[in-house]
Amino acid sequence: MKWTRNGQRGRSAVLSVGAHAGLAVVLLMSGGTGDAPEPGRKPIIQAELVSLKTPKAPAAPATEQSPEIAAETEPDVRPATAPPSEAPAARAPEPAVEPRLEPPAAPVPPLEETAPPGPPEPRVESRDRVAATESSPVPDEPLPPDPATTAPDAIEPTPTPPPPSHPLEAPQQQMLSKRLASWTGRFPPGEPAPTMAWRESGQEYTATFKHVPAASAMQMEQLAVEVTTERDGVRLLTEMRLTRMAFSSFAQFVDRWDPEVQIHDDEIDGRFHSNSEIRVSREHGVTPVFRGKVTLAARDIATDSVGWLNRRTLFPAGIEMGVRKILLPPQAVTLAANAAADEQTQRFERDTSITFHADGTYAWQPTEGGTEQRRRFGDDPHYLVGTEGVVLHVRGTVNGTVLVYAPAHIVIEDDLRYADDPRQPGATDYLGLVAERTVEIAAPEITGPGDLEVQASIYARRQFAVRGYRARASGTLRIYGSVAAGSVTATEPRFATQIEFDQRLTSMRAPGFPQSDRYELESWSGEWRIAQ
């Protein structure tokens, strides 16, 4: 970065039960007048006999001669009793009925097979039906299905529940991803969980956000999001999990870009975000490189370059402008308060020089002179806290997890490295430098000539500064981790700048490192399920 003078800007079933019954055809001759039946008329009374609780009686054996043939050869002599097939096994004797001779009747045509009867006829209380009605009473209450012909599981059906879940349709998934891939906001203590409602393609959606605190000082807070909608009277729900981004989630974050500073001989490997317009410069064959995605709250970028600037080459991972701002917290006082209450805290009340050692210890000494003291980090996160107005000077090799916090200033006087290579799996060293005002690279006479390497997560609410940046070219300032600041100074000509993002910082942070108000999608069920 160099200095310039030109400043710019997704019914229960009903079982219909039909009564099953055998059809009994009873042939009775007319008995009051002795008249023969009318030609073509069938003296038939159809009755539907249904057993309420017992199975049907077996069918009566066939007679030797059908009633029709007997009617043609001899008079029909019959007792007025029920047919044998309908007589019960044991019953009280009935009064005898005198046989009655009927004159030969006109030939009766053979009976034709009739179709099954329709609905039952009204009950007829006549002398001719006494036997039938006594042996097979017809109840007034509805009849159950015949167990001989009805499947057991069909007797008392239960509603078939809808499927427990089904995948989201592609348009819904795209819409929800676009709307809830990120969320910006804070959770004031004691206030109810925020909700968001909207309508899309004629369907209403509601998202409810629930705060999930961080499990430890090195993990991120999360949001449990429930998105509900309704379809065909069924309430559906899908679940998401959003993770709160720490300011160390960006390779570089700047709240307000100084219009007098150009991004020139700079290489940024990781996400870059600015809440304001940035200025990009290309000259003498030197062009900045952004290898990660770039997001700007501004609508454009400013440039002093001569000729056309190829944005596809400049921003190979893409650039998105007009995004929502990510606000800096008013101050990191909660960080200091939490640190002060921890047993793994060392407080400094005077300007102090701190040196980290690869054996897992650190030493400190007042800058104006005095006795050096030494302490081991241990396995738990450690906090080095300066009181109001104190300047902390740091250098050395960090073996542990530590946060250095100062309400005023932190000065990097020499290389800051991890004892274990942070690019290798299993590396557990973390260093956070957090200052309410500035984090500075010391002047050339202190750091000495050549490259300077800093492995850390840096947060400077007011400014990240390189002192003496106008000095003669010295080398490259290499930062492995992240830089977040209210603004930044130029680094050239003293240093070209390389910032490489520490990939571990996507899921972890230095202990107590400040978190932003931006949440991004971490996981998603990807399906609708029925809300309880």
DSSP string, 144-169: PPPTTTS-GGGTS----PPPSEEEPP
Mean pLDDT of 22-30: 37
Q: How many domains, the chain? A: 4
Residue 261's pLDDT is 93
On whether residue 18 sits in a domain, the answer given is: no
Domain co-membership, 27 together with 123: yes
Domain boundary among 296, 311, 327: 327
Going from the C-alpha of 361 to that of each of 102, 347, 374, 397, the distances in angstroms are: 130, 16, 7, 9
On whether residue 140 sits in a domain, the answer given is: yes
Of the pLDDT bands very low, low, confident and very high (cuts 50, 70, 90), residue 112 is very low
Domain co-membership, 402 together with 435: yes
Domain co-membership, 204 together with 352: no
Q: Could you tell me what percent of the chain has a pLDDT over 70? A: 67
487 close to 254: Cβ distance less than 8 angstroms: yes
Alpha-carbon distance of 371 to 18, in angstroms, equals: 102
88: left (phi over 0), alpha (psi -120 to 50) or beta: beta
Q: Tell me: pLDDT of 463 over 70.
A: yes
Q: Tell me: pLDDT of 140 over 70.
A: no
The residue type found at 512 is G
The sign of the CA dihedral 334, 340, 344, 345 is positive
On whether residue 6 sits in a domain, the answer given is: no
Residue 94's pLDDT is 46
Domain co-membership, 318 together with 380: no
On whether residue 117 sits in a domain, the answer given is: yes
Domain boundary among 104, 123, 154: 154
Domain co-membership, 121 together with 172: no
Token code pair at residue 303: 């440039």
Q: Where are the alpha helices (DSSP H) in 60-193?
A: 67-73, 130-135, 170-180
Structural domain range at position 306: 256-327
On whether residue 8 sits in a domain, the answer given is: no
Domain co-membership, 42 together with 70: yes
Domain co-membership, 380 together with 487: yes
Residue 292 φ/ψ, nearest 5 degrees: -110, 175
209 close to 193: Cβ distance less than 8 angstroms: yes
On whether residue 423 sits in a domain, the answer given is: yes
Domain co-membership, 344 together with 455: yes
Domain boundary among 327, 347, 380: 327
Q: Tell me: pLDDT of 155 over 70.
A: no
Domain co-membership, 374 together with 312: no
Alpha-carbon distance of 222 to 510, in angstroms, equals: 17
Domain co-membership, 215 together with 195: yes
Domain co-membership, 342 together with 232: no
On whether residue 170 sits in a domain, the answer given is: yes
On whether residue 3 sits in a domain, the answer given is: no
Domain co-membership, 427 together with 465: yes
